[in-house]
Amino acid sequence: MYLYNSLTHMKELFQPNSPDMVKMYTCGPTVYHYAHIGNLRTYIMEDVLEKALNYLGYPVKRVMNITDVGHLSSDADTGEDKMLKGAKREHKSVMEIAQYYTDAFFADCEKLNIKKPDLVQPATGCIPEFIRIVEGLLDKGFAYVAGGNVYFDTSKLEKYNVFYDHDEEDLAVGVREGVEEDPNKRNKNDFVLWFTKSKFEDQALKWESPWGVGYPGWHIECSGISMKYFGEELDIHAGGIDNAFPHHTNEIAQSESYLGHKWCNYWFHVHHLNTDGGKMSKSKGEFLTVSLLEEKGYDPMAYRLFCLQSHYRRNLVFSWENLDNAAAAYEKLIAKIAGLQENGAVEQADFEKLKERFVGALNGDLNTSLAVTALYDVLKAKTSDATKLAALADFDRVLSLNLIPAAQVLRKKQAAEAAAAYDPEIDALVAARTEAKKAKNFAEADRIRAELKARSIEIIDTPQGVKWRKV
């Protein structure tokens, strides 16, 4: 499989360190609010990546963190703790908020057929691991204590800004207007590994550490959790593109300084879901959730298809019109599949040919829009229905669009509707009218038509014979 690697800015042949297990790490949600459909675009594409790797013969083990501490309003380690902000908003404790929004996140994932990673680890459960890494970085001279906090010293690195080539001086450090710079930092890009001097006296979660009671910085959690479960090497690390800087840049800085060697070989970044007003974001307060889409009558699968129709390395613009188009396409797709006959044999050669196109799409940097085209190719193909159904079920191991089960539900619904419409008395009247017409007894035919009309039955004369329907 060829994948674009953000680290090298090239499509590369994906080669895991061991063919037996791909070690895949993904940044999890900050659980202070519901996930919006932008966040979920990232999780959908990561899910497709994991399933595609498995499908193509690279068995994956996936670990994900849950950020329940340390993520401040600005990614440059200033501003309010997001968890605390959520707790205040809802008059609950931080842990209650974390549990509630973690559960809500996985409920949304389930609706979107996003598989739960093999291992999910809240950051608050790994404090000793983080402390160990911070100690190691201090021992090796990559960190310093200032004003009670522990900072990573970016001036000790040969290259800090590993994902981009532009001038390091120009880095914005996630600094936003209204967020003050931390005077303890020796260098502009230094970041906090461990906080003790939070300007928030009421910081809810604190732990003992060699540097005083405090809490970990956000970046250290992904390095610590990944090393806890995967050891010193990682094959692939994924997240949204906004995480590339500073979060992933800092993860690499601290992990490789601590380990003394390269840490992760491939970096997979999903681009944003945007609205007219720019990136959809939780901190802006107004955002769309899966539940809201459902309330408006959309099947979550329509949103999944909407995401799959575009490549993960392109920004995707959300509009209701675009979603409506995806919903209509999904409905049509399922109706076509429901029309396929389940009997008959699978033509193996045809099946392989169809699969080849699908595999080609996945191999080419996870081109899901081409993979969706391969799906339509199946429906158009000149082969048996059984072959088509087999190919669709096979592709859906990766796409997870509920293709076969949704078609079965539709078929059952159509059968139930047909059964509900069956009425032998009406059939008898319709037949009697046809006979009357044949016998040129038009008065009787008209009388029967009027009787049916009184019963709200409309008669339709078609080339295939007379049909009726309730109006």
Interface with ligand AMP (CB under 6 A): 27, 29-30, 38-39, 41-42, 67, 239-240, 242-243, 270, 272-273, 279-282
Q: Residue 31 CB, nearest distance to ligand AMP (Å)? A: 8
Given ligand AMP, Zn ion, none, residue 39, with its beta carbon under 5 to 8 Å by kind, binds ligand AMP
Orientation of helix 368-380 relative to helix 385-399, angle to 10°: 170
Between strands 2-5 and 10-13, the pairing is antiparallel
Q: Residue 354 CB, nearest distance to Zn ion (Å)? A: 38
**CA R_g for the chain:** 29
The residues that bridge with 62 in the sheet, in sequence order, are: 24
Given Zn ion, ligand AMP, none, residue 222, with its beta carbon under 5 to 8 Å by kind, binds Zn ion
Cβ-proximal residue to ligand AMP, closest one: 240
Given ligand AMP, Zn ion, none, residue 41, with its beta carbon under 5 to 8 Å by kind, binds ligand AMP
Instruction: Give the nearer residue to Zn ion in terms of CB position, either 222 or 301.
Output: 222
Given ligand AMP, Zn ion, none, residue 273, with its beta carbon under 5 to 8 Å by kind, binds ligand AMP
Instruction: Give the nearer residue to ligand AMP in terms of CB position, either 23 or 41.
Output: 41
Rounded distance between C-alpha atoms, residue 147 and residue 245, angstroms: 25
Instruction: Give the nearer residue to ligand AMP in terms of CB position, either 164 or 468.
Output: 164
Burial (Cβ within 10 Å: 0-12, 13-18, ≥19) of residue 147: exposed
Rounded distance between C-alpha atoms, residue 468 and residue 471, angstroms: 9
Q: Residue 75 CB, nearest distance to Zn ion (Å)? A: 11
Instruction: Give the nearer residue to ligand AMP in terms of CB position, either 45 or 375.
Output: 45
Given ligand AMP, Zn ion, none, residue 282, with its beta carbon under 5 to 8 Å by kind, binds ligand AMP
Instruction: Give the nearer residue to ligand AMP in terms of CB position, either 60 or 378.
Output: 60
- Residue 455 C-alpha from the chain's centroid: 51
Reported for 87-95, long-range contacts at CB under 8 A and 24+ positions apart, including other chains, are 87/32, 87/204, 93/204, 94/68, 94/69, 94/204, 94/205, 95/68, 95/204, 95/205
Q: Residue 55 CB, nearest distance to ligand AMP (Å)? A: 23
Given Zn ion, ligand AMP, none, residue 279, with its beta carbon under 5 to 8 Å by kind, binds ligand AMP
Other C-beta atoms closer than 10 Å to the C-beta of 309 total: 17
- Stated as kind and residue range, the H or E segment containing 418 is helix 403-421
The residues that bridge with 46 in the sheet, in sequence order, are: none
Instruction: Give the nearer residue to ligand AMP in terms of CB position, either 30 or 402.
Output: 30
Q: Residue 237 CB, nearest distance to ligand AMP (Å)? A: 11
Q: Residue 314 CB, nearest distance to ligand AMP (Å)? A: 12
Q: Residue 292 CB, nearest distance to ligand AMP (Å)? A: 15
Given Zn ion, ligand AMP, none, residue 235, with its beta carbon under 5 to 8 Å by kind, binds none
The residues that touch Zn ion, with contacts defined as CB under 5 A, are 27, 222
- Please count the CA atoms within 13 angstroms of the CA of 219 that sit on its side-chain side: 26
Instruction: Give the nearer residue to ligand AMP in terms of CB position, either 82 or 388.
Output: 82
User: Angle at the Cα of 325 (from 322 to 330), degrees rounded to 5?
Assistant: 130
Residue whose structure tokens are 């008959």: 344
Given Zn ion, ligand AMP, none, residue 293, with its beta carbon under 5 to 8 Å by kind, binds none
Orientation of helix 127-139 relative to helix 218-230, angle to 10°: 100
- What are phi and psi for residue 216, nearest 5 degrees? -80, 155
Q: Residue 226 CB, nearest distance to Zn ion (Å)? A: 9
Instruction: Give the nearer residue to ligand AMP in terms of CB position, either 265 or 310.
Output: 310
Rounded distance between C-alpha atoms, residue 391 and residue 378, angstroms: 7
Q: Residue 288 CB, nearest distance to ligand AMP (Å)? A: 10
Instruction: Give the nearer residue to ligand AMP in terms of CB position, either 280 or 399.
Output: 280
